[in-house]
Structure 1
Amino acid sequence: MALDKEFFGPLTLHQKVEEPSIFKSDEAEDCACVLCEQKYVLPKSEKDMLTHFFMEHRLVIADVNQIADLPAYVRYWKSRFKDHDQPYFCTTMLLDSKPDGTKSKNEEYFLLSDVLPEDKELRSNLRQSKLEKLLDRQAFEREDKNYIKECLFCRYVSKDTRASYLNHLYEKHNFHIAKSDNLIFVDDLVDFLASKLEGLQCIYCEGLFKDRTILKEHMRKKGHKRINPNNKSYDKFFIVNYIGDTKPAQKSYPKVKKIDDNDSTIDSDPEWSEWTEENGPLITCLLCEHTEMEYENILDHMERQHEFYFTKSTAGMDFYQKVKIVNYIRRQIHLKQCLSCDTKFDDRKNLEKHVKETNHWTLRKEKWDQPEYYFPTYEDDLFLCFIHDDDESWWSNDEQEVDKRNSMSDSISKEMAMAVLTE
């Protein structure tokens, strides 16, 4: 993979998002110092432990937040430091002060980092081991059909998959968290959202309100019926944050049970049951922030305003190729880079002017035909929902066709997961 590529975590259209942080386990675990028997409970006392390393042993661990399993990392180096002292493994640095700040010439400090091949391999192995467990957990959440949960907004009780539950939230209440295939620890996520609503707190802006009616109206009018991508509390629920900048997360399209509008099992709560939308969510142009409710209208906009003919450009391509095309364009536009020559610009207007003047609408296959573009650039990109093969409809009710696409998608997911684990 090219080293100069710029990667980023899950985005939401029109929102700026910081780089995702690598996962940290919330489970308490005892951990002894690498060079003495002082013990700490991680992750609660992580800062105290790292301070101890520096003050007592003059040891600094580089990029500690990028280590997938810090307790296992520390245990490994504790065993290795029994065989050799710090200078053998660490980069030695000379500073003009002691750990307490007292001035002193040429004081030695030690940096343990992945510059050392052994350390780099260790970090990679820990990451792979953690990722394997996470992918197993995600696979269970996708396949488990015994998820019982009451809707956040009405009395409907899901007794199927987690994907079915999320689909109900979206179809009945226009509440879109994310595609189920991009999520992990869905149970904890739903409980987290429920606690906010029970506390009369807006899920997006986290403002507090007097009662449910006022909260409901606020979230509807402000478009706050979604999670805030800038809120780092949600990072642990997105699989891409664990995979980081290696390869895309697993991607597939599981069958979702459709809920009948007249389902007698739904005993609506008067506080929330009317929270439905006659108008569906908006589709965003691939090249600017213009939105439309209809897919055909957004295609027409791109042709009139940008002279970009998506249908013609993707003629003869299959479903997965079109998905990669869309995600590639989204990424390039996000980075303000030309679709063809990768020239970077300060703003989108100059980028569009360049593309038009140079006729760089032609998309080079070696650029977009990469596994990373199976994964959506934006979590809420509804443009992807309207993509289908030229000779079929993505929304086909043909059970065999759905099974076929599921099978193809699962195969791709498996290939991408293996690519991640062997990176």
Structure 2
Amino acid sequence: MTKISKSIVNTFDAVQYSKNEETVAYSKVTWRLIPFLFICYIVAYLDRTSISFAQMQMQNDLGFSAAIYGLGAGIFFIGYSLFEVPSNMLMQRIGARKTLLRIMVLWGIVATGMMFVTTPMQFYVMRFLLGVFEAGFFPGVIYFLTKWYPGSRRGAVLSMFMLGMPISGVLGGPIAGWALNSLDGVNGWEGWQWLFFIEGLPAILLGLMVYWILCDEPSQAKWLTERERALIIRNVKVDQANNPPEHGHSMLSALKDSRVYILSLSYFTFISGIYAIGFWLPAMLKNAGVIDVFQIGLYSMIPFGISAIGMVLISRSSDKRLERRWHLALCAFIGAASLSAITMFSADLTMSLIVMTVATTAIYTLLPLFWSITSAYFTGTVAAAGSIALINSLGLIGGMASPSIIGWVKTTTGSMSNGLFAISAMLVLGGIVLLVGIKAKDIRERKLAK
């Protein structure tokens, strides 16, 4: 710790807080921020992946092949990647509230507009625009939470926020099945058109609510007492002082940091696995013998629901031990093995559900573990928002690669097995790259002294 860091710690330690005060303060913060952000992330992921169910009707109604669907699913991430860093750097200037309001309202409009698609080109353009307007949401929230929580609390908080991904699967399946079955033909609209309308509208409404629910930083939180605001600010400052980054503080220094690209490569492989599940799970269930779209929606609740529980438990284990790397690598290896095993039981619904559930749990848990590592590495640097966005945007290219690879393989061979093997190999690579390229000392985290 530097002399300056010691001075900061000593200054804040002059004011003492009880354990109960800290518990109450963080309870207020968590209840204020996390449920709302959690709901926003559910809606974001629903709008991003709603085509995984819609495609079961769109392919027949519009004549889209699996390759067209795979490319359209993936092209979202081109727009997302191109505009993510500018979005987050703008957020540092104008604040989280204005940024999230802009992002959610615009992506909600485009997500709803997907109902009017009739040609492959329109499909591609709308998916690209959805990526452009959603860019910055996820890394923006990650950066926003670093202003409120020290590293020792961040893993659990990130896992609660990122539960939105599996929970969107729990809710999205039945909603999609109901819309595709029950609303098909209502008002002259196809079921898939109703699905886009129903799942796009909430983003607009939530975006308008952002301005009244969130504040840009703890010092502006009128719903906390003055002492509670000071405690939250103190813990973040002490955490930054206890764990000063050994790398450069500027965006230019971050661009020269090899670990930025190591993290991006690992994230690329993890995202490929996440979206192999997110975009193709309904098709996997259909291959296992489930024909009715509503039943597919109900069965999809099983892997997504159990993965939500697993994500919380594994993240708590990581927080308790302040160990991230091996937790993450083991999840990557288990996810890879389970994803490959799906191909062995494609005709057996029970075994398919078991291996899908293990794969979904392991792969989805990679997300909070990875961002705990990344946010710890960049916390306290002026380049934090831009660096986090850069890693996310580079890594999300995997979101295009994964569905495109599987879609092309399925169209070419009639089976997605070789595509799943390729994604499994990528997950193993990601786990190894992170273990070798990111050392424990790079992500030092300490529990705050009471």
TM range, normalised to the smaller chain? Answer: under 0.3
Give the structure-1-normalised TM-score: 0.27
Query: Who wins on radius of gyration, i.e. which is larger?
Result: 1
Query: Which protein has the bigger helix share?
Result: 2
